Structure 1
Amino acid sequence: MRHRSAFVTGAAAVLLGVAVAATVPVASAAATGCSATYTVAGQWQGGFQGTISFTNLGDPLTGWKLEFDFPAAGQTVNQGWNATWAQTGNHVSATNESWNGGVGTGAPVSLGFVGSFTGSNPAPTAFRVNGVPCTGSPTTPPPTTPPPTTPPPAGGGAAPALHVSGNKLVTAAGTPYRLLGVNRSSGEFACVQGKGMWDGDPSAQANIDAMKAWNVHAVRLPLNEDCWLGLSGSPSGSAYQLEVKKVVDALVANGITPILDLHWTHGQYTGNISACTDVNATCQKPMPSMQYTPQFWTGVANTFKANTAVVFDLFNEPYPDAADNWANATAEWTCLRDGGACAGISYEVAGMQDLVDAVRATGARNVLMTAGLTWTNDLSQWLAYKPADPTGNLMASWHSYNFNACVTVACWDSQIGKVAAQVPVQAGEIGQDTCAHDYVDQVMAWADAHGVGYTPWTWNPWGGCSSGGNVLIEDWSGTPTRTYGEGVKAHLRTVNP
């Protein structure tokens, strides 16, 4: 994830000068629902003023986010009021201001914007508030934390060796195996923020047992390139590497598949949607660098190539398309695969093919995950631009949050489903920026039906879900956050890997 203080989802967000996906704390409510109306208050050549009014038909809200999709290409929000506005592609969101987040039952909210259009200017027809469709009637959701009537499936022994067969991840015996679990953040940021190695100790047996009580069978560990290579940070170099190996060994011994994810990398980036300008690995960059990232994966592969229970996620969330301001899709997909000189990026880029080659040159046969565009929410051309892997042990990496562009079953069917029909797909990050679990429930249900694995963000007790969204636990004992963590726990306890 674009770590976590700034969720930026598109060029329009930069034009509007807003931070996308501000936390939207919502009350734990027994009923939800809304109605919404959209009006074009005025229109002129290439421009218009839109107004939206929605009414809360459910329990009182302490915060809200309105979302809709423009029907036509070229429709854009330029400036808005009574909300923080953002746009990615044709998807628009408006998040409450500090003064209008509280909305009582039956209370209306009015907001508006000045926009532009090319061609036609049709009105959007479907609106959501905090992920709930505005159908004009309230609904009462089922209980959020029903404990399963039976305990999670029993299991023991070490995590299985894995390889790819067709569109399935399988064990040495050929049994299909999905990676179902959680992310465990901190290996990417603690060492470069003066916080030591980890947030908590992920190798501690008590912490692992807490995960196992949720039926976790996979843990994605975000890592830091500089700290692994000894370029910056503390611990770094061999001390950092030994800590990573300690956690990997503990997870494997407990039957949990480690997914090693390269999250923060070296290379100065000052272009479009810049998380930071630091050359060191203190933030998410649009692409890995040829200077250091192949060296990172050579070291990781040499460390873990004897254990094919360990999966390598080659790069967290590429966004060379955003760096190029979405100007040339062919060039952006080519940059993702082949690297080199990429528009909007000042350093020499390492493409996914470079990283696959670096791993395979060590003799490692571990399963590899390679990403798509737009923070790997876009897999539309993944099959056409997938890197060549002589071992065939290649998976597609997909991320899905409620504030992304591809957030509907129709999009998942047309994009992700086509990839999953040919190669295994792993949803390395899923989540939502509210404390509910309605969106993540939809993602998990769709993934279950299509053989896709998933690891929700994140198993870290960062002040509860309302402190920043996507937080699964209240403490290291595994107490789930209400209601996001409760929903994920309840679901994980019903599924087998």
Structure 2
Amino acid sequence: TTPVRTAALAAATAACTALAVLPLTASAAPAASLSCGVTYTASDWGSGFTADITITDTGTTPINGWTLGYTHTGNQTLQNGWNGTWTQTGRNVTVTNPAYAPTIDPGTAYTTSATFSYTGTNTAPSTYTVNGTTCGPQSGPSPSPTPTSTPTTPPPAGSAPAVHVAGATLAKADGTPITLHGVNRSGAEFMCVQGHGIFDGPADQASVTAMKSWRVNAVRVPLNEDCWLGHSNVDPAYAGTAYIGAVRSYVDLLHRNGLVAVLDLHWTDGAYTGPSAGCSDAAATCQKPMPDAAGALPFWTSVAQTFKGDDATVFDLFNEPYPSRATGGTDSGWACWRDGGTCPGIGFRVAGMQAMVDAVRSTGADNVLLLGGLEYANDLSRWAAYRPTDPLHNLAASWHSYNFNACGTGSCWDAQIGPLAAQVPVVTGELGENDCAHGYLDALLPWLDRHGVSYLAWAWNTWDCGSGPALISSYDGTPTGFGAGYRAHLAGL
């Protein structure tokens, strides 16, 4: 479920003035008492690279407010930075702490990252300062250029739990079962491709704090294939490294707040004008019946490489499949769902669930994978029979449940969802109702709780809840009538 934004949004432009000398904040640790180490690594693809810089407090007092500085020796040019405010003047690069991570405690570390372009030789910097103090030389060499690789980073040092499949449940690293209760944060699937930005509304600490006040432990973030891959139909300011960096920064922010992130491939390429078509555009501007192999497989390879090692991030392989409407039958629909390739009624080569599972696993990523069923992920009747092969056995079913869906009654839930939830974890990736009330939730949520099914409500956005499920009327967490029911339920758990 995604609204199509048609009204032009005003673009806010921030002007940054480079200063020759950057003053320390009033709370910054005095240089004399500061002891630090810096580790620099770069993932280089020949014409650009991602730099990951980890600052370690090697002293005995916290670094409260930090400014990192270093100098390049070549023509490396800053493109985009995250987990810090990055600026460049000539060859001099400066990074200041983000508002949500001002402190590095003794014995702990913080990683900030950025992408750069360059020509010629890319030599790692040799000297780093934090708040004017030269840090211990802990930098490592850049690896050889690998043009087909995607930069990777270790998981952020946050409190979000790593999750895996343990039988019919999700579990933390220590084996403790975990049930996800969260929200969807819509925007990154449509804002970029419509030329408005990356997120719809704030993606800052204040907005995450408001989410946490509802007692959620997970946030689902819908993504756009064209924006991630940097296709030419998207404004470069919102595509490629800029988009990836923004998503990575947001995921890191969620993790630092103890929240599991669910990344969902929402809008994909492929011209489709058959039954239930959302648009005739070949670009990723609406929901397609299945994702295209030409884009979805590189997308998941890149996403998996980016978040490999971060098991607090779950991958939802495709938002709402509906191949049976294109192929004309349930059997052919499920076959297309799993096997992809040439599917009747779909004019592009389809990335089936098995191919997407394989693409993720080929990178070495072991993240939990969610697979939504047919009929916009509302039909899980043959999910177990068509489940793809995963060497890690780390697959879960994704179910979407709205008051207007076919499987919207207790009898259907008992017949279809309950038996599957006894075999594999089921995550209700979206749920809601389009009447700005919560009567449907009042029946559904207790049922999900009794069966140990995870759920994430659609959506933490402020559009009209009478035209689509919106949990809030303000990003400070003020609920709509629909959201009030969901918030009350979470408060009672």
What is the TM-score of this pair, normalised by structure 1? 0.67
SS in 2 for 1:366: coil
Say which of 481, 487, 490 aligns to 1:489: 487
Shift of 1:494: 2.1
| Corresponding residue for residue 263 of structure 2 | 260
Task: Supply the AA of the counterpart residue of 1:410.
Answer: S
Task: Supply the AA of the counterpart residue of 1:356.
Answer: V
Shift of 1:3: 4.3
Shift of 1:443: 1.5
| Corresponding residue for residue 419 of structure 2 | 418
Shift of 1:206: 0.5
| Corresponding residue for residue 290 of structure 2 | 287
- Please give the residue correspondences for 1:107-122 in structure 2 after superposition, counting only pairs within 5 Å: none
| Corresponding residue for residue 314 of structure 1 | 317
Q: Distance in 2 between matches of 1:354 and 1:225?
A: 16
Query: Does the alignment pair 1:409 with 2:410?
Result: yes
Task: Supply the AA of the counterpart residue of 2:489.
Answer: H
Percent of pairs with identical residues? 56
Shift of 1:323: 1.4
| Corresponding residue for residue 245 of structure 1 | 248
Task: Supply the AA of the counterpart residue of 2:221.
Answer: L
Unaligned runs of 5+ in 2: 6-156
Query: Does the alignment pair 1:218 with 2:221?
Result: no
Any conservation in 2 of the 1:3–1:283 contact (CA below 8 Å)?
no
Q: Distance in 2 between matches of 1:276 and 1:214?
A: 35
Task: Supply the AA of the counterpart residue of 1:364.
Answer: A
Task: Supply the AA of the counterpart residue of 2:360.
Answer: V
| Corresponding residue for residue 187 of structure 2 | 186
Task: Supply the AA of the counterpart residue of 2:160.
Answer: A
| Corresponding residue for residue 461 of structure 2 | 460
| Corresponding residue for residue 478 of structure 2 | 479
Q: Distance in 2 between matches of 1:223 and 1:311?
A: 13
SS in 2 for 1:181: strand
Compared with structure 1, are the counterparts of its residues 292 and 157 closer, same or farther at alpha carbon in structure 2 (3 Å cutoff)?
closer
Task: Supply the AA of the counterpart residue of 2:167.
Answer: G
Any conservation in 2 of the 1:377–1:398 contact (CA below 8 Å)?
yes
CA displacement 1:57-97 (0-9 Å, x = unmatched): xxxxxxxxxxxxxxxxxxxxxxxxxxxxxxxxxxxxxxxxx
Q: Distance in 1 between matches of 2:393 and 2:482?
A: 36
Shift of 1:493: 1.6
- Please give the residue correspondences for 1:271-420 in structure 2 after superposition, counting only pairs within 5 Å: 271-324=274-327, 327-420=328-421
Task: Supply the AA of the counterpart residue of 1:485.
Answer: G
Shift of 1:328: 2.5
Q: Distance in 1 between matches of 2:3 and 2:407?
A: 20
SS in 2 for 1:259: strand
Runs of 4+ aligned residues of structure 1 deviating over 4 Å after TM superposition are: 2-5
Q: Distance in 2 between matches of 1:285 and 1:182?
A: 23
Q: Distance in 2 between matches of 1:167 and 1:354?
A: 23
Any conservation in 1 of the 2:2–2:186 contact (CA below 8 Å)?
no
Question: What do you get for the CA RMSD once the two structures are aligned?
Answer: 1.3
| Corresponding residue for residue 145 of structure 1 | none
Q: Distance in 2 between matches of 1:170 and 1:264?
A: 29
- Please give the residue correspondences for 1:77-226 in structure 2 after superposition, counting only pairs within 5 Å: 158-202=159-203, 204-226=204-226
SS in 2 for 1:197: coil
CA displacement 1:329-375 (0-9 Å, x = unmatched): 21110100000111111001010000000000000000000011000
| Corresponding residue for residue 33 of structure 2 | none
Task: Supply the AA of the counterpart residue of 2:191.
Answer: A
SS in 1 for 2:374: coil
Shift of 1:4: 6.2
Task: Supply the AA of the counterpart residue of 1:264.
Answer: W
> Greater RCO between the two (CA within 8 Å, min separation 6)?
1
Task: Supply the AA of the counterpart residue of 2:470.
Answer: V
Q: Distance in 1 between matches of 2:329 and 2:200?
A: 40
Query: Does the alignment pair 1:469 with 2:468?
Result: yes
Q: Distance in 1 between matches of 2:212 and 2:293?
A: 38
Q: Distance in 2 between matches of 1:474 and 1:370?
A: 31
SS in 2 for 1:346: coil
Task: Supply the AA of the counterpart residue of 1:215.
Answer: R
Any conservation in 2 of the 1:430–1:454 contact (CA below 8 Å)?
yes
Q: Distance in 2 between matches of 1:348 and 1:208?
A: 38
Unaligned runs of 5+ in 1: 6-155
Task: Supply the AA of the counterpart residue of 1:378.
Answer: D
Q: Distance in 1 between matches of 2:286 and 2:471?
A: 22
Q: Distance in 1 between matches of 2:416 and 2:346?
A: 27
Task: Supply the AA of the counterpart residue of 1:250.
Answer: L
Q: Distance in 2 between matches of 1:322 and 1:179?
A: 31
Q: Distance in 1 between matches of 2:271 and 2:468?
A: 28
SS in 1 for 2:165: strand
What is the TM-score of this pair, normalised by structure 2? 0.68
Shift of 1:194: 1.6
Shift of 1:387: 0.7
SS in 2 for 1:454: strand
Any conservation in 2 of the 1:471–1:485 contact (CA below 8 Å)?
yes
Shift of 1:418: 1.2
CA displacement 1:87-143 (0-9 Å, x = unmatched): xxxxxxxxxxxxxxxxxxxxxxxxxxxxxxxxxxxxxxxxxxxxxxxxxxxxxxxxx
Q: Distance in 1 between matches of 2:264 and 2:491?
A: 25
Q: Distance in 2 between matches of 1:322 and 1:238?
A: 35
Q: Distance in 2 between matches of 1:328 and 1:470?
A: 30
Compared with structure 1, are the counterparts of its residues 282 and 196 closer, same or farther at alpha carbon in structure 2 (3 Å cutoff)?
same
Any conservation in 2 of the 1:3–1:284 contact (CA below 8 Å)?
no
Task: Supply the AA of the counterpart residue of 2:351.
Answer: A
Any conservation in 2 of the 1:302–1:362 contact (CA below 8 Å)?
yes
Q: Distance in 1 between matches of 2:330 and 2:473?
A: 42
